[in-house]
Amino acid sequence: MRVAVLGAGAIGGFIAAMLARKFSDVAVVARGAHLEAIRSHGLRVQHSDAGSFTASVRAVADLRELLPLDVVLLAVKAQQLPAALEQVKPAIAAGVHFVTMQNGIPFWYFPERALRSVDPNGELRASFPQAQIIGSVVHVSGHVVEPGTIAQSGGMRYIVGTPENGDPTVVDSIVRLFEECGLAPERSVHIRKDIWNKMLGNVSLNPVSALTRFTIRPMLQDDTLRALIAAMMREAITVARSTGVHIEVMPEERIAYAARLSDVKTSMLQDVEAGRALELEPIVGAVLELARDAHLCVPHLETVYALTKGLESSYLLE
C-alpha cells in the first residue's frame, strides 16, 4: 500500500515515522525548516510510547510529487485543509482514499450540506467524494520539538471508520497497516458517535487550557474550571443529540478519563504559545453553528468561544 501523510507535525509525523520503520512505500508532505530537516537527517521521534528512534522517510513539498498513491492521511489542521486542496485534487481524481485526522467536526460530517464554520464555501465537501473518505479519531498527544523532531505521548489509539458509502475493505487495510507497525487502531461501527465522544474533550478542555495556560492535570484539579468544563460538555451533549447522536458517557466520566491521562498541553494551548491560528472554528465554532441551527441555548460554550476568539485576535493582529 502506497501511503502519504499530508502534514508531518505532531500527529502525522509520528504516524509516518512508525509506518516508515516497517514499510518503504511511505512519504510525507511538509514545508519549511521541518521539510529540510526531515530530508537531511530523517524523521526523529523522542520520548514516545514506542521509544526514541529515527525513521528514513521520503519528504516532499507537494502531494502531487508522490502520485500514484493508495491512501493519503490528511494530518494538517482543519483550518489548513482549504489551502492544501489544490495539491490534493489530482489524488482525488485518481481515486485515492483519504483518512481525515483533524480535531472537531469534519467537513464530510453532513453529506447534504457544508458547515460554514468548517467549510465556508462548501469547496471541501464538493471536492471529496464520500466514497473516498475514511473518518478517524486520534487519541494521541504530541508536539514538534524542533524541525524534524517529534515527541509523542498519551497512547497510540486511532479509531477508523467510514461514513456513508465508504469502503470497509479500505478500513480493514488501514487497520492492518497500523497494527503491523505497532500502533493501536480500532474499527469504528459509528464514526460520528466516536467523533462526538472526543469532541466532549476538545470543545471544553482545549479552549479553557488556551485561556488559562494550564496543562490538563492542574486545569482539572481546579474546582471552578472543572465545573465550567462539565457545563460545556453537557451543552455539547445536547447539541450532539440534535444531530441524532446519543452519547452515553457523562461529563464527570469524561473528565475523570482525561485526568488519568498524561499531563499534556492541548493542541490549542500549543498553538497559543506558538502564536499560531487556532482550531477554534471546527471545534467550538461548529458546535455553536449546530446549536444555532437547532435553536439551543449554550451560554458556556458561547462565552468561552468569544474569549478564546479574542485571545487569538490579540496576537494574530499584532
Per-residue pLDDT of the chain (318 residues; tens, 9 = 90+): 999 999 999 999 999 999 999 999 999 999 999 999 999 999 999 989 999 999 999 999 999 999 999 999 999 999 999 999 999 999 999 999 999 999 999 999 999 999 999 999 999 999 999 999 999 999 999 999 999 999 999 889 999 999 876 788 999 999 999 999 999 999 999 999 999 999 999 999 999 999 999 999 999 999 999 999 999 999 999 999 999 999 999 999 999 989 887 788 999 999 999 999 999 999 999 999 999 999 999 999 999 999 999 999 999 987
- Are both 159 and 242 inside the same structural domain? no
- Are both 167 and 263 inside the same structural domain? no
CATH no. for residue 140?
3.40.50.720
Q: Which among 161, 189, 217 is the end of a domain?
A: 189
- Are both 210 and 223 inside the same structural domain? yes
- Are both 18 and 122 inside the same structural domain? yes
Which are the contacts of 180, defined by CB distance < 8 A and separation ≥ 6? 22, 23
Number of domains the chain contains? 2
Hey, how many other C-beta atoms are within 10 angstroms of the C-beta on 311?
Answer: 17
- Are both 185 and 70 inside the same structural domain? yes
Rounded Cα distance, 3 and 68, in Å? 10
Domain residues for 93? Answer: 3-189
- Are both 53 and 164 inside the same structural domain? yes
Span between the terminal Cα atoms of the chain, in Å: 45
Give yes or no: 309 in active site: no
Instruction: Determine phi and psi for 100, rounding to 5 degrees.
Output: -85, 130
Contact 78, 103 (CB under 8 A): yes
208: Cα separation from own chain's centroid: 18
Q: Which among 160, 189, 218 is the end of a domain?
A: 189
- Are both 16 and 141 inside the same structural domain? yes
Q: Which among 139, 161, 189 is the end of a domain?
A: 189
User: Which one of 22, 198, 265, 309 is the catalytic residue?
Assistant: 198
- Are both 42 and 185 inside the same structural domain? yes
- Are both 185 and 196 inside the same structural domain? no
CATH no. for residue 208?
1.10.1040.10
- Are both 20 and 154 inside the same structural domain? yes
- Are both 129 and 262 inside the same structural domain? no
* Per-residue pLDDT, 104: 97
- Are both 113 and 181 inside the same structural domain? yes
